[in-house]
Structure 1
Amino acid sequence: MGSESAVRPRQRAQHLGPQRRRPQVLDTALTLAVSEGLSAVTMASIADRMRVTRPVVYACFADRVQLIDALRRREENYLIHDLLATLPGRDLGTDETAVVTSFRTLLQLTAARPESWRFLAETPDPVISEEFGRGRRIAVNRCTALLRGSMLGWGTTAADRKLPVLVDQWLAAGEGAVQTLMAGNADWTPEDLGDFVGGQVFRMLRDA
């Protein structure tokens, strides 16, 4: 009798159905992957964390392989969407507004979804690393196109020679700002940090 009452709360969760339950399963898998490593993500550990029975999890995903694949694809889509949303949509011009806004947006999105960034940037899995690298390559291509046009307008000398180095520094500054924000040890808000780093990056690009 006692064992039946112990499992009853797990059974009640099933009425949500697989469609509504899948995002919750993926969110739980993400939390486990970030806090304990990808190897800790199992159907059993997710069921335990969600306080549901294993059949509830299996109704959402056929097995662990399918679940991990869905998690990787979801987080990669988030990353690419966020990166594209953060990058300026035009040449940088003569003031720092476009770059500062870009850094502010990047850090606001990071603050809204820190576990997604940690999962893709810090999980030691070659497939996940490749997905993070694919998002970075998209950012490199976009930043290269933006900066090339801006450097021509600025009259930058030896622009083609400097361009790859400056793009790499731009992106490295963004990655460093994300790490600083997630570390939470300097009392930065996304807006303050975006203003500071964005302004520094713009001046570095403009004065090259």
Structure 2
Amino acid sequence: MLDAALGIAVSDGVSAVTIRAVADRLDVTRPVVYSCFDDRVELIDALLDRESQVLLASTLDALAASGRAAQDPEDAFVRGYQALLRAGAAHADSWRLTFSRAREPEVADRFAAARAEVAAAARAQLAPMLRARATPDLERKLPVLVELFISSCEAAMRSLLDEPATWSPDELGELYGHAMWRAFSKV
């Protein structure tokens, strides 16, 4: 049922997710949907909980994996973007939901919390690398650099999901990884 709700949310917006719409999408009666969810609010909460957890887990996994497998900082950036974009390709509709419908309040609030958690993890990974490079005025620059990093990840994901698809996750990850490494290596 949540997959049907996700499809509706991505194509028509979260406001279009109703018990009737999900029942119609699944070709079942509304009582079947009501047997799983008391009302529309519970259905949307379950959908947003599931999708935010999928995105958070896959994003944090990509961030952690980039550092473990890397041979040097530039390689870490490339591998990290590639891992993130592979996860994005595997969960394309989940990502489309985060970018959908001018950030409907139901979506925006849920994903803002996940974004903050990813930013904290990114900060924890970027700070030691920037300290090792003796980045001047790091404490002042770090919040700006974390926002740059997170925004570039979102831009990379949007580029991957744009139609028509012209990039593979690995190609686009290599482009973003090298570009962002250059940006970070010059600060």
TM-score, length basis structure 1: 0.81
Partner of 1:118: 96
Partner of 1:128: 107
- Shift of the alpha carbon at 1:197? 0.3
Partner of 1:18: none
Which letter maps to 1:170?
Answer: F
**Alignment RMSD (CA, Å):** 1.9
Is 1:198 aligned with 2:177?
Answer: yes
Partner of 1:11: none
- Shift of the alpha carbon at 1:98? 1.4
- Shift of the alpha carbon at 1:95? 3.5
Is 1:159 aligned with 2:138?
Answer: yes
CA distance in 2, matches of 1:159, 1:65: 44
Is 1:68 aligned with 2:47?
Answer: no
Partner of 1:106: 84
Candidates 49, 54, 57, aligned match of 2:30: 54
How many residue pairs match? The answer is: 184
8 Å Cα contact 2:119-2:146 kept in structure 1:
yes
Q: Which has the higher contact order (CA 8 A, sep 6+)?
A: 2
CA distance in 2, matches of 1:201, 1:167: 12
What secondary structure, in the 3-state scheme, does the structure 1 residue paired with 2:35 have?
helix
8 Å Cα contact 2:13-2:100 kept in structure 1:
no
What secondary structure, in the 3-state scheme, does the structure 1 residue paired with 2:8 have?
helix
Candidates 167, 177, 180, aligned match of 2:156: 177
Aligned identity (percent) is 38
Which letter maps to 2:56?
Answer: I
What secondary structure, in the 3-state scheme, does the structure 2 residue paired with 1:115 have?
helix
8 Å Cα contact 1:103-1:174 kept in structure 2:
yes
8 Å Cα contact 1:43-1:58 kept in structure 2:
yes
The 1:146–1:64 alpha-carbon spacing in structure 2 relative to 1, beyond 3 Å, is: same
Partner of 1:88: 64
CA distance in 2, matches of 1:102, 1:113: 16
CA distance in 1, matches of 2:17, 2:165: 32
- Shift of the alpha carbon at 1:109? 1.2
TM-score, length basis structure 2: 0.90
8 Å Cα contact 2:92-2:161 kept in structure 1:
yes
8 Å Cα contact 1:83-1:135 kept in structure 2:
no
What secondary structure, in the 3-state scheme, does the structure 2 residue paired with 1:96 have?
helix
8 Å Cα contact 1:120-1:131 kept in structure 2:
no
Comparing 83-92 with 31-40, greater Cα deviation is found at 83-92
CA distance in 2, matches of 1:186, 1:75: 22
Task: Structure 2: state its 5+ residue gaps.
Answer: none
What secondary structure, in the 3-state scheme, does the structure 1 residue paired with 2:38 have?
coil
- Shift of the alpha carbon at 1:127? 3.3
Task: Structure 1: state its 5+ residue gaps.
Answer: 1-24
CA distance in 1, matches of 2:20, 2:131: 57
